[in-house]
Amino acid sequence: MNSRSLFIIVLASSMIGAMLSAAIVLTYVQNNQSYNYSSISNRQDQLVSNVSYSDTAFAIPQGLNFVSAANKVTQSVVHIRSVYSGGASSFNALEGFFRGPAQSSGSGVILTDDGFIVTNNHVIDDASEIEVVLQDNRSYFGKLVGKDPTTDLALIKIEETNLPYLSYGNSDNIKTGEWVLAVGNPFDLNSTVTAGIVSAKARNIGILRDRNNLQIESFIQTDAAVNPGNSGGALVNLKGELVGINTAIATPNGSYAGYSFAVPVTLVKKVMDDLLEYGEVQRGLLGIRIGDVTARLAEARGLDVVNGVFVSYVNENSSAEEAGIEQGDVIVGINEMEVTNVSELQELVARNRPGDEVKVTYIRGGERKSVKAILRNTSGTTDLISKTYNPELGGAVFEELNNDEMASLQLNGGVKATEVNDGKWKESGLKEGFIITKIDKVDIVDLADLHLVLENKKGGILVEGITPTGDPGVLGVDW
């Protein structure tokens, strides 16, 4: 072996030895590392600081910020607990659950700073007592102002001021695919916010019933998660404006299955104003029988359109007859707004009162025409009808306090017993001249309050007021 070969062998051996030594040292160091951070959190901070991200990678697109709307809306959505006096359990088709004789739960939306609240009729229907709980857990007795089963809406009132209220938006302006938030109290989980998009508008799902066939179903359909307890809660746009009242879900099992439905706020506004002013909804009607135009109907009738509302019959002495609308016409517009189906037509007409004039656009014989129709009520007149209440109730006759009486007694209202005949009131010890100011802690301002509060009461009730001698008085009445 020459000296050159020996040198190469020695060099190679040295290199192999060095590599083995390095491996041994590295293994030792890895197993006995001296860490240069004190916690996992610190280590993560170090790691993150070495990674560069673009700020725009996690930025929220303009207008798609749920946080602002959620913070605003949750303060204005309330939890409603409805208590029932006796009776058997019943299945609530709108909520999809069994309602027992004790209580059920729903939601509501504060509309004014002094306590007017919108909810669904089915949330408070038949309730003997309504409890309203705010987001900050303050609790109040709710007073029913009025209800409308044909739209499944109700207006209630609590006695409070400076409340956070939700402003009306415009449901006409929302588009299919637009983001919306649903806020309510599903399964008693207060102030729950879910997000989704508008899936469709003017949906009729056949859930409301009315003996005169005057129900209005023109729901906003969304895929925001809604469950039992959400009914009466808010559907809002990303500005935090109210665009609908969550009302129903499409479900085979009683829980959310992908789609929910809300009454559009344009209809809510009109119903709330009617209930506040008149105690009942003022329905303006064209007086026609109608159906959706389909491809099959268009072919059978020789129509030139496949969208719109087909007039199958015109009632005598109706608004439509007076305006010249005829059987076979296809209505395609109301007040310059396009109409493609019955739900849209019903909603647009229902926004008006008897006596209001609407522009009806229709197609007859391939020609597009427009007429102005003055809507009429169910009695065929243009009169607005306020709900009246019988002064006799339970064997006693009552009258509302006049301004002088309220001023002298420093009351905001009340009803005075002017006659007490045989019946529940007399058995309880009610005397002529007694002024009722509260029943079960709910203020009684007028005859309407007296009837509405007592409508679903059963069993014992607590009556507070002023005795004929001017002293505070309390009665227990077996109602």
CA 425, 121, 83, 389: dihedral to nearest 10 degrees?
Answer: -10
Tokens of 78: 């309330």
Active site residue 122: yes
* The token pair that represents 74 in the structure block: 């949750």
With vertex at residue 475, the alpha carbon angle to CA 473 and CA 479, rounded to the nearest 5 degrees, is 150
Secondary structure letter of residue 68 according to DSSP:
H
Burial group, residue 168, by CB count within 10 angstroms (0-12, 13-18, 19+): middle
Q: Which of 76, 79, 82, 152 is catalytic?
A: 152
C-alpha span between 347 and 352 (Å, rounded): 9
- Bridge partner list, 337: 334
Instruction: Check if the beta carbon of residue 88 is closer than 8 Å to that of residue 102.
Output: no
Q: What is the largest CA-CA distance in the chain?
A: 139
How far apart (Å, rounded) are the C-alpha atoms in residues 330 and 366?
10
Distance between CA 267 and CA 351 in Å, rounded?
6
CB of 289 closer than 8 Å to CB of 311 = yes
Q: Alpha-carbon distance 448 to 162, whole Å?
A: 26
| CA neighbor of 206 nearest in space, from 94, 121, 112, 127 | 94
Catalytic residue among 105, 231, 318, 428: 231
How many CA atoms within 13 Å lie on the side-chain side of 62? 0
| Tokens representing residue 119 in the block | 């909810």
The set of catalytic residues is 122, 152, 231
